[in-house]
Amino acid sequence: MKNTVFEGVATAIVTPLNEKGVDYEAFGRLIDWQIAQGVDAIVAAGTTGEGSTLTDEEHREVLKFCVERVAGRVPVIAGTGSNDTAYAIDLTEYACGIGADAMLLVTPYYNKATQNGLIASFRAIADRSSKPCILYNVPSRTGCNLLPATVAALAEHPNIVGVKEASGNISQIAQIAALCGDKLDIYSGNDDQIVPILSLGGKGVISVLSNPLPAETAAICRLWREGKTAEAAALQLKLLPLIDALFTEVNPIPVKAAMAAMGYGENYLRLPLTPMEKAHEEVLLKLLREAGARLV
């Protein structure tokens, strides 16, 4: 049995940006609010944090700021994956050095590595990490699917402790659970599948929804752990329209609009991402209000 990085909800936190760079004032307020609302961990500079368009210097600064602001209140998971294994190793070593609690390693995008290539790459990064590593499978974005047998092989590495599964394929996730047992923790990477993945033995979710609704997202996991499965499922289904609205355009376009409307920075994204279409934004903000989010 490996050590679990977290149980419950980890917010894949947005990085507030403006024309000058990272808005650290808004970022700090957002981190503090997330923790006060009961999230169990924070993922910095991942997909939702626009890690792919941060400069190398910004990426490191964002990770360092997050670690220092959190100050041990919850685990900080650093997004250090890349399609360049050497770069991922360098960033991972940096994140370990500044005190991040774990790494989130996305499958190499664009390269579309073979399964053997994925094993070699992830092992090379994990070998150089002094902290636990969570794999991140999101084939819709990367063009590369981390297959169950590959995950099982990687689970034998002492530093590879979990997988964020965002394939959307429940059958595949069930196969991972069957093959890996207690060698690997499974986290939902899709907010509409939190309860189904918990039912397969998952530990929680790395969430976009928890940016605007941290307490409610945490409640889904808490209710499940308390044995209140019907209540957890009911809350999951109640929030489904909002979850869908957060993905009407590619993440993090909608959640950036949501957080700007709640006062956490500007609705600013870096190209090639652009602000949400007005019709979609109107639906999103209406659903946020109905869910109890406080808009400024």
Dump the DSSP string for 132-198.
-EEEEE-HHHHS----HHHHHHHTTSTTEEEEEE-S--HHHHHHHHHHHGGGSEEEESSGGGHHHHH
pLDDT truncated to tens, each residue of the chain (296 aa)?
689 999 999 999 999 999 999 999 999 999 999 999 999 999 999 999 999 999 999 999 999 999 999 999 999 999 999 999 999 999 999 999 999 999 999 999 999 899 999 999 999 999 999 999 999 999 999 999 999 999 999 999 999 999 999 999 999 999 999 999 999 999 999 999 999 999 999 999 999 999 999 999 999 999 999 999 999 999 999 999 999 999 999 999 999 999 999 999 999 999 999 999 999 999 999 999 999 999 99
Which residues have a Cβ under 8 Å from the Cβ of 144 and sit 6 or more positions away? 107, 108, 109, 111, 112, 113, 118
For the whole prediction, is pTM greater than 0.85?
yes
Q: How many other C-beta atoms are found inside a 10 Å radius of the C-beta of residue 179?
A: 16
Domain ranges of the chain: 8-227
CATH class assigned to 8-227: alpha beta
Distance CA 218, CA 36 (A): 12
To the query of whether residue 278 is one of the catalytic residues in this protein, the response is no
To the query of whether residue 264 is one of the catalytic residues in this protein, the response is no
Distance CA 200, CA 178 (A): 9
Catalytic option among 136, 187, 203, 256: 136
Catalytic option among 131, 164, 203, 256: 164
Q: Is the dihedral of CA 60, 243, 162, 76 positive or negative?
A: positive
